[in-house]
Amino acid sequence: KLTNLALIPSLPPNHPQFTIGSSIPLLSPVTIPQVVCKMRTCCQSTRTNHMSVFCVISQDPAVTLDVPLGAIGRVEKMGGASSRGENSYGLDITCKDMRNLRFALKQEGHSRRDIFDILFKYAFPLSHGLLLFAYLSQEKFEENGWSVYKPMEEFRRQGLPNDKWRVTFINANYELCDTYPTILVVPFKATEEDLRKVCTFRSRGRIPVLSWIHRENQAVICRCSQPLVGMSGKRNKDDERYLDLIREANGTAKLTIYDARPSVNAVANKATGGGYEGDDAYQNAELVFLDIHNIHVMRESLKKLKDIVYPNVEESHWLSSLESTHWLEHIKLVISGAIQVADKISGGNSVVVHCSDGWDRTAQLTSLAMLMLDSHYRTLRGFQVLLEKEWISFGHKFANRIGHGDKNHADQDRSPIFVQFIDCVWQMTKQFPTAFEFNERLLVTILDHLFSCRFGTFLFNCERARDTNELRSKTVSLWSLVNSDLSFYQNPFYTPESNRVLYPVASMRHLELWVTYYIRWNPLTIELLGLQYPFEPWHSTTGTFVPVCLNDHFFLPEYALVHFPSLI
């Protein structure tokens, strides 16, 4: 009696099916007597190697747990042949989307070995010489999401090129910088030779280039990586002159350089050849450190947050536990830094933003500042352009930070930088509920497919790698799904205000934990609400999967007021 499988595409003939023994705990406090685990594995003509479907059947209604294989970060065996006692033998599945699953199995029959081998193989395809699911998907949509972002169209929307800024194709073959896009906007007076010289003095060759220009005062946001100053305090006249050209483009008295790092980290980076712009060398620039910590600190912070929201939320120690994660403090620093950038631009002063390599904290700051300054990016399609431009084309290392298809869960390059950015966006939507055309559902959908590997949008580290792997021709864009039914992601309270600059309050008193995202998998939440786990039901009319989360069924703040009052 698989009551809920009607919503799930059928499995192919002769597909492996495993019955897992009795008394299966999902995770405390929920215990489920019997589990039938059907795992969709490799079949190129269907979606079967995209999702593991755990069908839990104790009594009506049955519970279905859909887990995208791409969301699995770790699979471990629990217990051994000598294990005794209830729930001492089975599998632990750690997911990248804030949930953990634990299944107890019977020791006889060696069912665990078969289940483990299949899960491990298809959850980590790149580690087994297999393709990511996005390359096997046969999904079709009316709109081609790869056409959402066209660099020249976006630059023309901003009024570029003009007499101060020009478009260059010097990176057309990724020869200047292999992690930058092919089309760049640079100061009009900077020659191609100037760009090559500056490239040698910036980490990874990521020279300062224009991200956004204010139409009225012509102040610009430029992004780059740290200068290669080193312990000896090296100088580069070409780099110094180049930053002066940025300053002169709109007559700014002093160029403001926002270094996202804590100052002590920037100083420490000198030991590895990096550093920051010193006053002596860059006399027409003001350097401001924003004290945002690195990828390792953010990874540990989110890990601590996961520990306090899953599997249990302890009401009695909630506030102190949340504080100990420092997650909201990091959110505050990122938003605060973006506010400073936006404020400078509004005042007519150009800025340069960088961190170490310019693909993590830099992307957070530039894109958030642009959300505050430009109402176009607050629309459904404009937000897609923002992500494509500032994150995808400018080389945020999605493959390294997320670990798509890679079994190495302990990789020190993993970090929730993009998750943190989307959290910051959510904080802004809470403070300005009528300013954004998109709703919370879009943000959750984006994060779900950040991990799922169902679409090609967030795969690989840079544009060059995507071109090499023929991403646009062989995979489907997430925006194809989103734009097939925009009404699903629309904010009904949206009120367009074209010239309004948003200044969110970056105060701990005004920041909230994103409960709908971080606590949606908590078993107590599911149990008390009488809901199934969030899943993607089959849309019978369009033949596509439509993302659904808990927010479709209830408003979490109402629920939290009753059960977790300290969350509000």
The reported pLDDT for the residue numbered 32 is 29
The candidate with the shortest Cα–Cα distance to 358, out of 127, 203, 182, is: 203
The reported pLDDT for the residue numbered 245 is 98
**Cα–chain center distance at 517:** 13
- Tell me: is residue 356 an annotated ligand-binding position: yes
- Tell me: is residue 244 an annotated ligand-binding position: no
Q: Judge whether residue 373 has pLDDT over 50.
A: yes
Q: How many Cβ atoms are within 10 Å of 275's Cβ, its own excluded? A: 23
- Tell me: is residue 224 an annotated ligand-binding position: no
Class level of CATH domain 5-135? mainly beta
- Tell me: is residue 343 an annotated ligand-binding position: no
**Are 257 and 387 contacting, i.e. CB atoms less than 8 angstroms apart?**
no
- Tell me: is residue 403 an annotated ligand-binding position: no
User: What predicted TM-score, i.e. pTM, was given to this entire model?
Assistant: 0.87
Distance CA 494, CA 467 (A): 37
AA letter at 437: E
Quick: pLDDT tens for 246-285: 999 999 899 999 999 999 999 999 999 999 999 999 999 9
Q: Judge whether residue 536 has pLDDT over 80.
A: no
Quick: pLDDT tens for 65-77: 788 999 999 999 9
Tell me whether residue 462 is one of the annotated catalytic residues: no
Q: Judge whether residue 60 has pLDDT over 80.
A: no
SS3 204: helix
Compute the chain's Rg from CA coordinates.
Answer: 25
The candidate with the shortest Cα–Cα distance to 70, out of 298, 363, 398, 303, is: 398
**Are 22 and 34 contacting, i.e. CB atoms less than 8 angstroms apart?**
yes
The candidate with the shortest Cα–Cα distance to 111, out of 238, 227, 16, 200, is: 16
- Tell me: is residue 307 an annotated ligand-binding position: no
- Tell me: is residue 43 an annotated ligand-binding position: no
Please, what is the average pLDDT of the chain?
85
Q: Judge whether residue 226 has pLDDT over 70.
A: yes
Which one of the listed residues 199, 355, 424, 462 is annotated catalytic?
355
- Tell me: is residue 359 an annotated ligand-binding position: yes
Kindly report, as residue ranges, where domains of CATH 2.30.29.30 are found in the chain: 5-135
- Tell me: is residue 21 an annotated ligand-binding position: no
Q: Judge whether residue 113 has pLDDT over 70.
A: yes
The reported pLDDT for the residue numbered 90 is 87
Q: Judge whether residue 112 has pLDDT over 50.
A: yes
Distances (CA, A) of 259 to 24, 290, 363: 50, 6, 12
**Are 460 and 471 contacting, i.e. CB atoms less than 8 angstroms apart?**
yes
Angle separating helix axes 192-199 and 237-248, nearest 10 degrees:
120
pLDDT-derived band at 57, boundaries 50, 70, 90: low
The length of the chain is 568
pLDDT-derived band at 108, boundaries 50, 70, 90: confident
**Are 257 and 362 contacting, i.e. CB atoms less than 8 angstroms apart?**
no
**Cα–chain center distance at 153:** 25
